[in-house]
Every structure is written in C-alpha cells, then in structure tokens.
Amino acid sequence: MAKCGEQLTVEELHEKKLLEKIDGIGFLYPPFASIISDLLLVIRQHQMPFRVYETYRTPARQKKLTSLGLSKIRHPLDDKHVHGLAVDFLIDYRAIRTLKKNKLSQITESDLNKKTSDISDDYGAVYNLGVNVLQTTTNKPRTKVEDQVVLDFWNNFGKLIERQFPHLAWGGNFNLKPGELIGTDPPHVEYRDANKLMSQRRALNVLRARGNPGLGKN
C-alpha cells in the first residue's frame, strides 16, 4: 500500500474500490433486484423514511468487515450480500423530527453526507439503529426502546414486507424472542429463497457471469 502522500498504483486503486459500499440494485441477483425495485416504489408511495444503505457486497469488503469485527460471517461466500440476495436499509433521520440532533441523527447524517463509502466505525453504528441490545459475553439480551418513532417505523416497514412481498424476509423478525419488540437485524431484507440459491451457487454464478466486481471468472 502506498505511503501517505504517494499516489496509489492501479492495483491498489482496484483493491480500494472493492472495499467500497455499493447501494445500487444493479449488481443484485436479477429476480431479487426486480422485487427490491418494487419495494422501493411502494416505500416512496407510502412516503416511508427508508433508503438503501447497502446491496451487493464484494468478497473483499465482506472479508474486511469480518476482520474489523463488524460481521460474524467467517467466509465471504457465506454472506447473502455477496450472492446479491440481501439489501440493508437505513432510516432517513430527516423524517424523524423527535430525534433532533442526538447521537442517532448525527451518525445517520454523517453516513448520508459521505462522498465515498469507506469502511469506518459508522458501519457498526448503522446497525445499532434498532431497539434491541444484543447478547454479548457479559450481558444478556434485552430490549431497549431508544425512540418509539424509530421502533414504529421499523415495525411498519416489516408489516409492509410481510403483507405485500411474500418472496422477501425481514431481519426484524430474526431471532425474535418472547418479550422483545423487534428482531436482531431490522435494516436487513433478503430473498426468501436465499439459502437454497446460496447452497446451489446459482445466484453467485449469475453474478459472476454478469461481471460483478470482485467475483472473478468461473
């Protein structure tokens, strides 16, 4: 890697590019991309305050996220984003007037104003926008409502998906235990057949044939 003040080589620029966050749907598995396009249309029609945070993820980016402790996926090809079968959403803080300029809105504002999508501490912050405090080695899981408006937005988002998009699965239902108000990953939406497609490598082969960055050739 080039030192401070030195220009990056073509190879180093390519490696850096593979670590960037992608928020367009063009690199997703095509049938899934079509459904997400419809979901985005419905979100706009209902004036819901959600925008896409991340879609397809290169294996290099997934590996880096794991190394930083921001993901528990050990092998990049075990991640649904890498197969183009998952999308993460973000609440637009400007729609949540009750938050004003607290930590949540500052984190979100920082992310939205970035001109480039470098991996940073903000990645972890984005995934703390829900209401559950997750289990750690020292603490048991519990539910904490940071803001009722935020909780309501996420749950309405989940209801919309359950009602109108049977081929999608919402992360707000993941690992939901008695007494908890929402699951462990409300920003996450995935193709309901994702596990099957991943085991068969069908989606990955389609993305590789389409030339998705970071996948190389068959």
pLDDT single digits (tens) 137-156: 666 655 566 677 778 888 99
Contacts of 183 (CB under 8 A, 6+ apart): 132, 170, 171, 172, 173, 174, 175, 176
Give this prediction's pTM: 0.81
**Ranges in the chain, pLDDT < 70:** 1-6, 93-146, 217-218
Can you name the CATH fold of 10-210?
Answer: Muramoyl-pentapeptide Carboxypeptidase; domain 2 (3.30.1380)
Q: Are 120 and 135 in contact (CB under 8 A)?
A: no
Q: Where do the structural domains in the chain lie, given as residue ranges?
A: 10-210
How open is the CA angle 129-134-137, to the nearest 5 degrees?
A: 140
